[in-house]
């Protein structure tokens, strides 16, 4: 059972930070276009990134293009579509693609299937498809049946359930693999990972972070393999602010000690 975080723990050492977006950095809205990350939260993320040599990334089911808009004016390393697309610290992009003919045929099939389920919505992400039913939860079983039929017919695809959504994506792609890829590269390499997420899609990330001896944080209720829990998005915002301020104080104290030692040597 995840322990409730009421205050940020002391974080000595070098850490790499990973954040989900919807349900973690921003509240979930009826439609994805309504989501906004407050400016103060973005400023704190930028401060945290700067103090950790850029070892901070956003890990989301959204596309990288959407993440860049939501994080503007800041420019973070990203993993979009659960890691099917990734941008490292050097702006190099790592993209997993599907054949164009397969994408086109799936788009036609899924669009037709969801038309028969009013209130559902198809989101095409290039190499993945999200089948949303937040506005029509009574269609959950039907939506899952459609997605399962596609996955059964195409072994190169896998399903990723989420909150009122099921995604069809390339097999082997998940947030855990994305975090592992970042952790193999500077500036993340050699640090302890910290990952905050709220959904079933984040559990693979929690498992990778736990195995690495890092800190996994589940946002909101629900079963989880995360070691810690924050109650809400507002709690996440406060936690980020507290950790950024805590690290800033540690840096200031360290610099003060260095200055004092330098003065002693001169004297």
| Domain termination residue (choose one: 170, 196, 214) | 170
Claim to verify: residue 53 and residue 153 sit in the same structural domain: no
| Domain termination residue (choose one: 170, 193, 222) | 170
Please identify which of the residues 3, 20, 39, 91 carries the catalytic annotation: 20
The pLDDT value recorded for residue 152 is: 96
For 107, the token pair is: 């788009």
For 234, the token pair is: 């507002």
* Domain ranges, residue 122: 100-170
Kindly report the average pLDDT of the chain as a whole number: 90
Claim to verify: residue 148 and residue 186 sit in the same structural domain: no
| Domain termination residue (choose one: 170, 201, 231) | 170
The pLDDT value recorded for residue 262 is: 45
Catalytic residue check, 88: no
DSSP labels, 44-83:
HHHHHHHHTTT-EEEE-SS-HHHHHHHHTT----EEEGGG
Q: Is residue 29's pLDDT more than 90?
A: no
Residue entry with tokens 């998005």: 233
Please report which helix (H) or strand (E) contains residue 3, including its range: strand 3-4
Number of domains the chain is built from: 2
Claim to verify: residue 184 and residue 155 sit in the same structural domain: no
Q: Is residue 225's pLDDT more than 70?
A: yes
Claim to verify: residue 66 and residue 178 sit in the same structural domain: yes
Residue 165 region by backbone torsions, left for phi larger than 0, else alpha for psi between -120 and 50, else beta: beta
- Give the whole-number percent of the chain exceeding pLDDT 70: 91
């Amino acid at each position: 059972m995840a322990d409730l975080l009421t205050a940020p723990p002391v974080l000595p050492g070098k850490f790499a930070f990973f954040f989900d977006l919807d349900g973690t950095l921003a509240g979930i809205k009826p439609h994805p276009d309504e989501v906004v990350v407050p400016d103060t939260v973005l400023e704190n993320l930028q401060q945290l990134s700067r103090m950790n040599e850029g070892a901070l990334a956003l890990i989301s089911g959204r596309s990288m293009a959407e993440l860049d808009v939501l994080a503007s004016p800041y420019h973070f390393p990203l993993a979009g579509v659960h890691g099917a697309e990734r941008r490292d610290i050097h702006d190099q992009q790592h993209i997993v693609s599907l054949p164009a003919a397969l994408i086109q045929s799936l788009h036609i099939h899924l669009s037709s299937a969801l038309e028969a389920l009013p209130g559902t919505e198809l989101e095409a992400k290039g190499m993945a498809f999200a089948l949303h039913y937040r506005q029509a939860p009574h269609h959950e079983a039907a939506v899952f049946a459609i997605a399962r039929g596609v996955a059964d017919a195409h072994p190169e695809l896998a399903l990723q359930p989420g909150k009122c959504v099921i995604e069809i994506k390339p097999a082997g792609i998940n947030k855990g693999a994305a975090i592992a890829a970042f952790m193999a590269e500077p500036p993340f390499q050699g640090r302890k990972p910290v990952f905050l997420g709220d959904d079933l899609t984040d559990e693979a990330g929690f498992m990778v972070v736990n195995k690495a001896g890092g800190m996994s944080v589940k946002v909101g209720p629900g079963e989880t393999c995360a070691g810690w829990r924050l109650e809400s998005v507002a709690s996440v915002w406060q936690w980020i602010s507290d950790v950024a301020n805590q690290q800033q104080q540690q840096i200031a104290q360290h610099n003060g000690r260095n200055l004092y030692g330098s003065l002693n040597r001169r004297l």
